[in-house]
Structure 1
């Protein structure tokens, strides 16, 4: 019989991957219900249409306050925290971002954010949840290579959240690690398979945005491919650059009177989201899943939908509440593509898919992840060359405008926080030690 030292780590690893799939499926169901409840309450006609002007700012304040007070490190997407944890060596430092407590806070506050209409997604938070679960599995199972297991948990989170196993693997290699390792990627593959099977067993096999068979004809539709890449990449770079600039400025503002400033930023952000949401008839609230799927299935969106969704997604991202970028970014891309499709006179379905590829690649600057995830989410395998081209053009355009990839730049801010806290703790310990030394002679006298 094999030694417990052989089978215990494997059993714990398998259990961790299964937990990622199960929790991802449950998270998805609760998040969808939260968004549907917000829509029912605020879109009943009459005075209820203006309820977001009250509900959304108050919800933002509640989420931002709870995140800062009880779950520091839960703010925003969750992907930068996973990247930061891979770069940190100490177990205590990693636990600031990846822990069982963080899992609870991330899920609960993301759901509350959707309950109040925030333009956020659950996919980035699922990455942080998956990484946290795998890090706990590493501790319980006595497994080494925590960095590889964090990577595996992140990939499994993306795969389970979108039902996109290939995208989970590519995301881990391209965005989380930016390198290839045969040993690590074997662990990633195993985690993705197990988590994906668990998610499918609960939710069934599905394509996230439905299925489209739209294909870019050559050469007729390739001007649209190029324009979606160029405009989408430029707009994605603008989102990334504005997010970084505003985040850094807000962090400086919050350095003085942290909690009052946290509440002020959240309230203003929530008011912006509410006002645009009310003007748009509720279209810009939430993940944007319904609107993006509508476009992918062949229906053009309002011409300025993408601009409204861009602004509310930016406000939600910098507000200090937990929530991801993936779904809202794909909705912005679908809206942009729909608008360009109306200008070029092409089908909404083709234009939406190309717009998603160009814009999403511009935001995250991970072109392989962009085209793989979009092809898997739409079942649009016959159109892979055009989607790939739009993503690559979007990526190249974004690199020229904003050379700093968004998630990695944000991760450095989290790492800086840890180093700052570590220096403060060391200074306190040194001061306490100095006090003890000065007290000892006095006691001796």
Structure 2
């Protein structure tokens, strides 16, 4: 019997913005669950690749995409064509299980639900993202794992809050904890996970969010290191100090990357406009286009981590091949993601940036007698500049490269590359981050005022006058609000109904409600 009162006390405590110890404890559990689910996801991808090597299924059907992708060039053209087509058919059937208004996926979906739905992520949508990303990756689509992973992690955090019936002001934080855990688990970069969640997903830096998110990222990294070891996603050789000539080449490369990032976003928006709200035809078109591209340029298939790893270790390619690969990867990734394939853009953007950096190094070597010995340096700065420009997330990109390289020598050139690429894409080309631009095309306003952010961090339970302490229900207000709601939702409801107080109710079994107290406009205004 003591369980119910303790859970009730926890919910009431979490309705307050300063309930850090309790929220941090739940965040640790969120990180554990998110890291565990992502470990299962990656193990499924690994087993799909390992299973393909047995006699039960022809070897060419699957490829491993966990840490090192197998070469798609070794697959027959027939398999490279039909694998994405078959994947598109399966994705169409799977996504139809979702209601029409819940058929968005990835980081954009998480941001939308945090802003417009107080961090409530549907569990069915999260499950379909899990299996949809698995299908997209094993069938060779040019998409990344990071977007789906963020969605899965945020969904785990949000659903944990839902099943515990925690106040709505905690759901967004727990979703952010899951997002941070996802990035920390995938790249084994806990600091980057924290900054990414706050800069890209939640778009706020507060103590109430920072500490739980940090705890979640740490726990997810512990899970990853326990399962896979302490190495990061990419094995990066030691990067020596760059010369003035190298920094000049970095500036030119970053400028080009900014232009390419803007082009990538525009192609993606074009595909989104063409898709509209349709499902089957756009997905089949994505499968056909990916199949054709897979036949013509096999290296465009998959995330592209194998290409990044080759470039980091100085493997030589021709300039013409790198240019063709770069442009093809840019177009096909933007198109298939825009047409509804449930994958991410971060992994492919890293590959595009790495290819640009390596290509510029080879051009400079051929025409300006600059040594190719620093190809790793330009590959790293290129990949991180593209990530920053596409997401318009300079701090997350900088922290990511610092954790991956573990080198202080990269700080100056990385900052220089990030600044130029971000400014070129945003100021010269007029492009915001890809997710903000996607919301514009869909007609969604995801901007939240500072006042709304403040009120969303407080639950009505912490502001109401409890009916047990005073006879406040002798003349109850006409309009009611659920006890799990936030202060911002209460104020908005008061404005809509033109009243100054609301009855706070608690949902019980069989659609019955129980009055708990009254919240007034005055009590909310005292927070401001």
Matched, 1:317 2:334: no
Aligned ranges for residues 198-347 of structure 1 at < 5 Å?
198-251=223-276, 254=277, 258=278, 262-280=279-297, 282-301=298-317, 302-303=321-322, 304-345=324-365, 346=372, 347=374
How many residues are matched?
404
Partner of 1:427 in structure 2? none
Partner of 1:359 in structure 2? 386
Q: Residues 102, 47 of structure 1: CA spacing in aligned structure 2 closer, same or farther, 3 A cutoff?
A: closer
**Deviations, residues 382-420 of structure 1 (Å, cap 9, x unaligned):** 2121112111111111102133321133346678499xx
Match of 1:108 among 100, 112, 131: 131
Q: Is the 8 A contact 1:276 1:284 kept in 2?
A: yes
Give 1:234 shift.
Answer: 0.9
Structure (1 or 2) with the greater helix fraction: 1
Structure 1 residue runs of 5 or longer lacking an equivalent are: 419-445
Aligned ranges for residues 36-75 of structure 1 at < 5 Å?
37=52, 40-41=59-60, 48-70=76-98
SS in 2 for 1:221: helix
Mean alpha-carbon deviation: is it higher for 81-90 or for 317-326?
81-90
Q: Is the 8 A contact 1:214 1:349 kept in 2?
A: yes
Mean alpha-carbon deviation: is it higher for 283-292 or for 102-111?
102-111
Partner of 1:430 in structure 2? none
Give 1:189 shift.
Answer: 0.8
Partner of 1:425 in structure 2? none
Matched, 1:404 2:423: no
Q: Which structure is richer in relative contact order (CA contacts within 8 A, separation 6 or more)? A: 1
Q: Is the 8 A contact 2:271 2:334 kept in 1?
A: no
Q: CA RMSD in A?
A: 2.9
SS in 2 for 1:391: helix
| Structure-1 separation of matches of 2:405 and 2:386 | 16
| Structure-2 separation of matches of 1:154 and 1:63 | 24
Give 1:31 shift.
Answer: 2.8
Matched, 1:30 2:44: yes
Q: TM-score normalised to the size of structure 1? A: 0.82
Mean alpha-carbon deviation: is it higher for 116-125 or for 372-381?
372-381
Partner of 2:174 in structure 1? 149
**Deviations, residues 197-256 of structure 1 (Å, cap 9, x unaligned):** 1221112111211122223523120112101210111101111122123212321xx4xx
**Deviations, residues 33-86 of structure 1 (Å, cap 9, x unaligned):** 546759940679898332222221231232134224437577665111111111
Q: Residues 386, 73 of structure 1: CA spacing in aligned structure 2 closer, same or farther, 3 A cutoff?
A: farther
| Structure-2 separation of matches of 1:113 and 1:35 | 14
Q: Is the 8 A contact 1:119 1:313 kept in 2?
A: yes
Q: Is the 8 A contact 1:288 1:327 kept in 2?
A: yes
Q: Is the 8 A contact 1:130 1:156 kept in 2?
A: yes
Q: Residues 138, 45 of structure 1: CA spacing in aligned structure 2 closer, same or farther, 3 A cutoff?
A: closer
| Structure-2 separation of matches of 1:156 and 1:3 | 27
SS in 2 for 1:276: helix
Q: Residues 60, 76 of structure 1: CA spacing in aligned structure 2 closer, same or farther, 3 A cutoff?
A: farther
Matched, 1:161 2:186: yes
Partner of 1:131 in structure 2? 154
Aligned ranges for residues 376-387 of structure 1 at < 5 Å?
376-387=403-414
Give 1:307 shift.
Answer: 1.6
Structure 2 residue runs of 5 or longer lacking an equivalent are: 11-20, 62-70, 366-371, 447-528
Matched, 1:372 2:399: yes
Mean alpha-carbon deviation: is it higher for 114-123 or for 45-54?
45-54
